[in-house]
């Protein structure tokens, strides 16, 4: 209990000015994230990364198979999904 009492004794709630400053920082961060995500270049980069990751995953699946016909099936399935 002694430790908790010492912590509570030293605790000072944030002032109104500090609360407003913290809220302003939060709002600025939110606005920055919203404007970043609405940017066309950012959106296209996300889509491009998703496509590249899908491609890499299919290649890894195909490489993991020892049977060449199974590898061919995996590649054909990828092309069907993307085509």
Q: What is the pLDDT along the chain (83 residues), one digit of tens a residue?
A: 677 877 777 778 889 999 999 999 999 999 998 988 888 999 999 999 999 999 999 999 999 989 999 999 998 999 898 86
Q: Which domain holds residue 22?
A: 16-82
- What pLDDT was estimated at residue 14? 87
Number of domains in the chain: 1
- What pLDDT was estimated at residue 70? 92
Q: Which helix (H) or strand (E) holds 4?
A: helix 2-10
28 lies in some domain:
yes
Contacts of 14 (CB under 8 A, 6+ apart): 22
- What pLDDT was estimated at residue 57? 92
39 lies in some domain:
yes
10 lies in some domain:
no
The alpha carbon dihedral of 61, 77, 48, 39 has a sign of negative
* Encoded tokens for 43: 């959106």
- What pLDDT was estimated at residue 73? 92
Of 36, 69, 18, 38, which Cα lies nearest the Cα of 77?
Answer: 69
């Amino acid at each position: 209990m002694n430790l908790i009492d010492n912590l509570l004794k030293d605790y000072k709630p944030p002032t109104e000015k500090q609360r407003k400053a913290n809220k302003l920082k939060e709002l600025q961060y939110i606005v920055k994230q919203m404007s970043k995500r609405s940017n066309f270049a950012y959106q296209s980069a996300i889509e491009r990364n998703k496509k590249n990751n899908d491609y890499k995953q299919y290649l890894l699946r195909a490489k993991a198979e020892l049977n060449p016909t199974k590898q061919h099936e995996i590649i054909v399935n990828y092309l069907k999904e993307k085509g």
